[in-house]
Amino acid sequence: MAKAPAPNPWTKPRGEPIKGKAIPRPSRTADVQSYIPAFLKGMSLTMKHFFKNTKETMLGQTPDPVLESLSEGVTTINYPEVKRPYPDRFRGLHRLTLRQDDSPRCVACLCCSTACPAQCIHIVAGEYPEGDARRGYERYPTSFVIDELRCIFCGFCVEACPCDAIRMDTGMHATAYDSREQFIYKRELLMSFTGRDGSRESANPRHEPGDLTHPGVTREHMSH
């Protein structure tokens, strides 16, 4: 006697046929067929919110979209005339801080691009020209590019920077563009952004080579 085939564990076992449940159709009365009661009900609700919002806007009684978001009433904002306030730790678009001579604070050490998990930062380092006190001590970025579409706004670049050269305190979010090239932010654009307080320079003091407060070795100490 032949053995019964073993059940396939990947196949649903055959059971009873599926029986459908009959749903009664609603009665089509004259009110339902004409749509007039439903239309008037919807229009009354729309006009109710329209006059209520108009009154609150004229009298300045619109609830705050952040602090009173759970209160009764409409909590929409008239964007872009009215923008939602972001918290202090909001990570907005990047910016490059400047020195007092409007040169980039960045020393092209590549710490930010190395720490970036999305690999959206590309830096090309260059040497300062002959005669500059910073030549031989540090470099500067001849090219500094951030792909804002690839950025995940983790803030690792800001944490990794030893010079406070890159920040995310602009308070701005990316604008809706129509091409990918417009999301490639280059050095000049990053240097043009300001912080929320309007500052462009770094608040941390920088000890330049040759200053008495410079903690590193000087050119005189390098000669033996």
For residue 215, cis peptide bond before it (omega within 30 degrees of 0): no
Residue 111 known to bind ligand: no
The contacts of residue 137 (CB under 8 Å, 6+ apart) are: 209, 216
Residue 109 known to bind ligand: yes
Half-sphere exposure of 75 (CA within 13 A, CB side): 11
Q: For 48-84, give one letter per residue: b (16+ CB within 10 A) or e.
A: eeeeeeeeeeeeeebbebeeeeeeeeeeeeeeeeeee
Residue 120 known to bind ligand: no
Nearest-angstrom CA–CA distance, 103 and 96: 10
Asked if residues 176 and 183 have their Cβ atoms less than 8 Å apart, the reply is no
Residue 163 known to bind ligand: no
Residue 116 known to bind ligand: yes
Residue 157 known to bind ligand: yes
Half-sphere exposure of 32 (CA within 13 A, CB side): 5
Residue 151 known to bind ligand: yes
Distance of CA 205 to the CA centre of its chain: 28
Binding residues for [4Fe-4S] cluster: 106, 109, 112, 116, 151, 154, 157, 161
Annotated binding residues, as ranges? 106, 109, 112, 116, 151, 154, 157, 161
